[in-house]
Amino acid sequence: MSDSRNALVTGGTRGLGLAVGRMLAARGWRTTVLGLDPGRLEKVRAMAAAEGLDLRAVRADVTSEESVREVFAELTEDQPLHLCVNNAGRNLSRLLVRKPQDGGGAELLTHPLDDWEQTLRLCLTGVFLVGREAAASMVRHEVPGAIVNVSSGLAAGAYGQSAYTAAKAGVEALTRTWSYELGPYGIRVAAVAPGVMDGEALREKSTAFPRHARYMDGLKRFVPLGRWGAEEEIADAVCFAAENPYVTGSVIRVDGGGPPGWVP
Protein backbone atom coordinates (compact mmCIF):
# COMPACT_ATOMS: atom_id res chain seq x y z
CA MET A 1 0.00 0.00 0.00
CA SER A 2 1.44 3.35 -1.02
CA ASP A 3 1.80 5.83 1.81
CA SER A 4 0.25 8.47 -0.47
CA ARG A 5 -3.20 6.91 -0.14
CA ASN A 6 -5.59 8.97 1.97
CA ALA A 7 -8.48 7.56 4.00
CA LEU A 8 -11.28 9.20 5.98
CA VAL A 9 -13.30 7.46 8.72
CA THR A 10 -16.37 9.04 10.30
CA GLY A 11 -17.26 8.24 13.91
CA GLY A 12 -13.61 7.37 14.31
CA THR A 13 -12.79 8.30 17.90
CA ARG A 14 -14.13 5.16 19.58
CA GLY A 15 -15.39 1.64 18.95
CA LEU A 16 -15.44 0.27 15.42
CA GLY A 17 -14.49 3.58 13.82
CA LEU A 18 -11.32 3.82 15.88
CA ALA A 19 -10.49 0.16 15.19
CA VAL A 20 -10.87 0.83 11.46
CA GLY A 21 -8.76 3.99 11.62
CA ARG A 22 -5.95 2.25 13.49
CA MET A 23 -6.00 -0.75 11.15
CA LEU A 24 -5.91 1.41 8.02
CA ALA A 25 -3.05 3.49 9.40
CA ALA A 26 -1.14 0.32 10.31
CA ARG A 27 -1.61 -0.86 6.72
CA GLY A 28 -0.02 2.29 5.32
CA TRP A 29 -3.00 4.57 4.75
CA ARG A 30 -2.68 8.23 5.68
CA THR A 31 -5.81 8.25 7.81
CA THR A 32 -8.08 10.96 9.20
CA VAL A 33 -10.82 10.12 11.69
CA LEU A 34 -13.72 12.45 12.37
CA GLY A 35 -15.52 12.96 15.67
CA LEU A 36 -17.23 15.56 17.83
CA ASP A 37 -15.98 15.07 21.38
CA PRO A 38 -12.83 17.16 22.01
CA GLY A 39 -11.62 14.82 24.74
CA ARG A 40 -11.87 11.74 22.55
CA LEU A 41 -10.21 13.56 19.63
CA GLU A 42 -7.26 14.41 21.88
CA LYS A 43 -7.00 10.81 23.10
CA VAL A 44 -6.82 9.58 19.51
CA ARG A 45 -4.05 12.07 18.74
CA ALA A 46 -2.09 10.92 21.78
CA MET A 47 -2.60 7.26 20.87
CA ALA A 48 -1.46 7.86 17.27
CA ALA A 49 1.68 9.63 18.46
CA ALA A 50 2.48 6.88 20.95
CA GLU A 51 2.01 4.13 18.36
CA GLY A 52 3.73 6.01 15.53
CA LEU A 53 0.65 5.91 13.30
CA ASP A 54 -0.07 8.32 10.44
CA LEU A 55 -3.44 9.08 11.96
CA ARG A 56 -5.01 12.46 12.62
CA ALA A 57 -8.25 13.34 14.40
CA VAL A 58 -10.43 16.21 13.19
CA ARG A 59 -13.64 17.64 14.63
CA ALA A 60 -16.63 17.52 12.29
CA ASP A 61 -20.41 17.08 12.49
CA VAL A 62 -21.49 14.65 9.79
CA THR A 63 -25.14 15.75 10.16
CA SER A 64 -24.24 19.30 9.11
CA GLU A 65 -23.85 20.01 5.40
CA GLU A 66 -21.71 23.05 6.20
CA SER A 67 -19.41 21.12 8.55
CA VAL A 68 -18.96 18.27 6.07
CA ARG A 69 -18.14 20.64 3.22
CA GLU A 70 -15.65 22.53 5.38
CA VAL A 71 -13.75 19.42 6.44
CA PHE A 72 -13.59 18.11 2.87
CA ALA A 73 -12.35 21.46 1.62
CA GLU A 74 -9.56 21.31 4.20
CA LEU A 75 -8.63 17.67 3.76
CA THR A 76 -8.75 17.45 -0.04
CA GLU A 77 -7.50 20.89 -1.03
CA ASP A 78 -3.97 19.70 -1.85
CA GLN A 79 -4.38 15.93 -2.01
CA PRO A 80 -7.08 13.55 -3.23
CA LEU A 81 -9.15 11.22 -1.07
CA HIS A 82 -8.86 7.54 -1.94
CA LEU A 83 -11.12 5.97 0.69
CA CYS A 84 -14.12 7.07 2.72
CA VAL A 85 -15.54 4.88 5.51
CA ASN A 86 -18.99 5.99 6.67
CA ASN A 87 -19.15 4.60 10.19
CA ALA A 88 -20.78 7.32 12.34
CA GLY A 89 -24.08 6.21 13.87
CA ARG A 90 -26.05 5.61 17.03
CA ASN A 91 -28.83 3.22 17.96
CA LEU A 92 -31.77 4.50 20.02
CA SER A 93 -34.01 1.56 20.88
CA ARG A 94 -37.69 2.54 20.88
CA LEU A 95 -40.90 0.55 20.47
CA LEU A 96 -43.41 1.97 18.03
CA VAL A 97 -46.13 1.85 20.70
CA ARG A 98 -46.29 0.36 24.18
CA LYS A 99 -48.53 0.35 27.19
CA PRO A 100 -47.26 2.03 30.36
CA GLN A 101 -45.74 -0.41 32.81
CA ASP A 102 -48.16 0.65 35.54
CA GLY A 103 -51.14 -0.22 33.33
CA GLY A 104 -54.38 1.46 34.26
CA GLY A 105 -55.97 4.07 32.07
CA ALA A 106 -52.78 5.92 31.11
CA GLU A 107 -52.26 6.77 27.47
CA LEU A 108 -50.14 4.59 25.22
CA LEU A 109 -46.51 5.59 24.84
CA THR A 110 -45.40 6.09 21.23
CA HIS A 111 -42.06 6.35 19.43
CA PRO A 112 -40.91 10.01 19.74
CA LEU A 113 -40.56 11.80 16.41
CA ASP A 114 -37.40 13.53 17.63
CA ASP A 115 -35.68 10.18 18.24
CA TRP A 116 -36.70 9.04 14.75
CA GLU A 117 -35.35 12.19 13.12
CA GLN A 118 -32.09 12.24 15.09
CA THR A 119 -31.35 8.62 14.23
CA LEU A 120 -32.14 9.05 10.54
CA ARG A 121 -30.10 12.24 10.37
CA LEU A 122 -26.98 10.66 11.86
CA CYS A 123 -27.21 7.13 10.45
CA LEU A 124 -28.55 7.93 6.96
CA THR A 125 -28.37 11.63 6.12
CA GLY A 126 -24.82 11.75 7.47
CA VAL A 127 -23.85 8.89 5.14
CA PHE A 128 -25.40 10.79 2.23
CA LEU A 129 -23.63 14.07 3.05
CA VAL A 130 -20.19 12.52 3.58
CA GLY A 131 -20.56 10.05 0.70
CA ARG A 132 -21.59 12.83 -1.67
CA GLU A 133 -18.53 14.95 -0.85
CA ALA A 134 -16.22 11.92 -1.00
CA ALA A 135 -17.54 10.96 -4.43
CA ALA A 136 -17.24 14.54 -5.68
CA SER A 137 -13.63 14.71 -4.49
CA MET A 138 -12.73 11.42 -6.17
CA VAL A 139 -14.39 12.37 -9.46
CA ARG A 140 -12.81 15.84 -9.38
CA HIS A 141 -9.33 14.41 -8.83
CA GLU A 142 -9.99 11.44 -11.14
CA VAL A 143 -9.18 9.01 -8.32
CA PRO A 144 -10.42 5.40 -8.60
CA GLY A 145 -11.28 5.28 -4.93
CA ALA A 146 -13.68 3.45 -2.64
CA ILE A 147 -16.53 4.26 -0.28
CA VAL A 148 -17.35 1.73 2.43
CA ASN A 149 -20.58 2.23 4.38
CA VAL A 150 -21.17 0.56 7.74
CA SER A 151 -24.64 -0.98 7.82
CA SER A 152 -25.92 -3.46 10.41
CA GLY A 153 -26.96 -7.06 10.71
CA LEU A 154 -30.34 -5.62 11.75
CA ALA A 155 -30.99 -3.80 8.46
CA ALA A 156 -33.78 -6.22 7.51
CA GLY A 157 -35.72 -5.35 10.67
CA ALA A 158 -35.43 -5.81 14.41
CA TYR A 159 -37.57 -5.63 17.52
CA GLY A 160 -37.72 -2.10 18.93
CA GLN A 161 -35.55 -0.61 16.17
CA SER A 162 -37.82 1.32 13.80
CA ALA A 163 -35.49 4.25 13.18
CA TYR A 164 -32.19 2.38 13.22
CA THR A 165 -33.28 -0.42 10.92
CA ALA A 166 -34.90 2.03 8.49
CA ALA A 167 -31.66 4.02 8.39
CA LYS A 168 -29.47 0.97 7.85
CA ALA A 169 -31.76 -0.40 5.14
CA GLY A 170 -31.36 3.00 3.48
CA VAL A 171 -27.58 2.75 3.81
CA GLU A 172 -27.60 -0.57 1.96
CA ALA A 173 -29.83 0.88 -0.76
CA LEU A 174 -27.46 3.85 -1.14
CA THR A 175 -24.54 1.43 -1.39
CA ARG A 176 -26.05 -0.41 -4.35
CA THR A 177 -27.26 2.81 -6.00
CA TRP A 178 -23.89 4.52 -5.72
CA SER A 179 -22.08 1.45 -7.04
CA TYR A 180 -24.09 1.81 -10.27
CA GLU A 181 -23.60 5.56 -10.51
CA LEU A 182 -19.92 5.73 -9.55
CA GLY A 183 -18.64 2.56 -11.21
CA PRO A 184 -17.98 4.35 -14.52
CA TYR A 185 -15.59 6.66 -12.64
CA GLY A 186 -13.69 3.70 -11.20
CA ILE A 187 -15.14 4.28 -7.74
CA ARG A 188 -16.23 1.22 -5.77
CA VAL A 189 -18.96 1.33 -3.12
CA ALA A 190 -19.54 -1.49 -0.64
CA ALA A 191 -21.04 -1.98 2.80
CA VAL A 192 -20.14 -4.03 5.85
CA ALA A 193 -23.00 -5.19 8.08
CA PRO A 194 -21.75 -6.18 11.55
CA GLY A 195 -23.62 -8.17 14.09
CA VAL A 196 -23.36 -7.34 17.79
CA MET A 197 -19.85 -6.20 18.71
CA ASP A 198 -18.27 -6.91 22.06
CA GLY A 199 -16.95 -3.39 22.48
CA GLU A 200 -17.04 -0.34 24.69
CA ALA A 201 -20.62 0.66 23.83
CA LEU A 202 -22.08 -2.77 24.67
CA ARG A 203 -20.11 -3.04 27.90
CA GLU A 204 -21.16 0.44 29.05
CA LYS A 205 -24.85 -0.21 28.39
CA SER A 206 -24.75 -3.66 29.96
CA THR A 207 -23.12 -2.26 33.09
CA ALA A 208 -25.66 0.56 33.36
CA PHE A 209 -28.68 -1.68 32.66
CA PRO A 210 -28.45 -5.22 34.11
CA ARG A 211 -31.71 -6.17 32.40
CA HIS A 212 -30.13 -5.32 29.05
CA ALA A 213 -27.09 -7.40 29.95
CA ARG A 214 -29.31 -10.44 30.65
CA TYR A 215 -31.21 -9.88 27.40
CA MET A 216 -28.00 -9.74 25.37
CA ASP A 217 -26.62 -12.84 27.05
CA GLY A 218 -29.82 -14.66 26.10
CA LEU A 219 -29.45 -13.62 22.47
CA LYS A 220 -26.10 -15.36 22.15
CA ARG A 221 -27.85 -18.73 21.92
CA PHE A 222 -29.07 -17.70 18.47
CA VAL A 223 -25.52 -17.05 17.22
CA PRO A 224 -23.97 -20.18 15.70
CA LEU A 225 -20.50 -19.17 16.92
CA GLY A 226 -21.86 -18.51 20.41
CA ARG A 227 -20.16 -15.15 20.88
CA TRP A 228 -20.25 -11.52 19.79
CA GLY A 229 -17.77 -10.19 17.27
CA ALA A 230 -14.62 -8.29 18.13
CA GLU A 231 -14.30 -4.79 16.72
CA GLU A 232 -11.04 -5.79 15.05
CA GLU A 233 -12.83 -8.61 13.19
CA ILE A 234 -15.31 -6.13 11.73
CA ALA A 235 -12.54 -3.64 10.97
CA ASP A 236 -10.73 -6.33 9.01
CA ALA A 237 -13.82 -6.78 6.83
CA VAL A 238 -13.97 -3.01 6.24
CA CYS A 239 -10.32 -3.05 5.14
CA PHE A 240 -11.04 -5.99 2.84
CA ALA A 241 -13.89 -4.08 1.18
CA ALA A 242 -11.67 -1.01 0.92
CA GLU A 243 -8.72 -2.76 -0.67
CA ASN A 244 -10.17 -5.53 -2.87
CA PRO A 245 -10.43 -4.06 -6.39
CA TYR A 246 -13.39 -6.21 -7.45
CA VAL A 247 -15.72 -5.63 -4.52
CA THR A 248 -18.53 -3.18 -5.25
CA GLY A 249 -22.29 -3.07 -4.73
CA SER A 250 -21.96 -5.78 -2.08
CA VAL A 251 -23.04 -5.92 1.54
CA ILE A 252 -20.57 -8.04 3.49
CA ARG A 253 -22.26 -9.51 6.56
CA VAL A 254 -19.95 -10.19 9.49
CA ASP A 255 -22.33 -11.33 12.22
CA GLY A 256 -21.30 -14.83 13.27
CA GLY A 257 -24.47 -16.15 11.60
CA GLY A 258 -26.99 -14.23 13.74
CA PRO A 259 -28.96 -13.47 15.78
CA PRO A 260 -32.18 -12.86 13.85
CA GLY A 261 -33.48 -9.33 14.25
CA TRP A 262 -37.00 -10.33 15.20
CA VAL A 263 -36.13 -11.84 18.59
CA PRO A 264 -38.04 -9.85 21.28
The set of catalytic residues is: 164
Q: What is the largest CA-CA distance in the chain?
A: 66
Phi, psi of 61 (to 5 degrees): -105, 110
Residue 97: strand pairing partners? 110
Per-residue buried b or exposed e for 102-129, using 16+ beta carbons within 10 Å of the residue's own CB: eeeeeeeeebeeeebeebbbbbbbbbbb
Phi, psi of 58 (to 5 degrees): -130, 140
Helices 113-120 and 162-182 sit at what angle, rounded to 10 degrees? 30
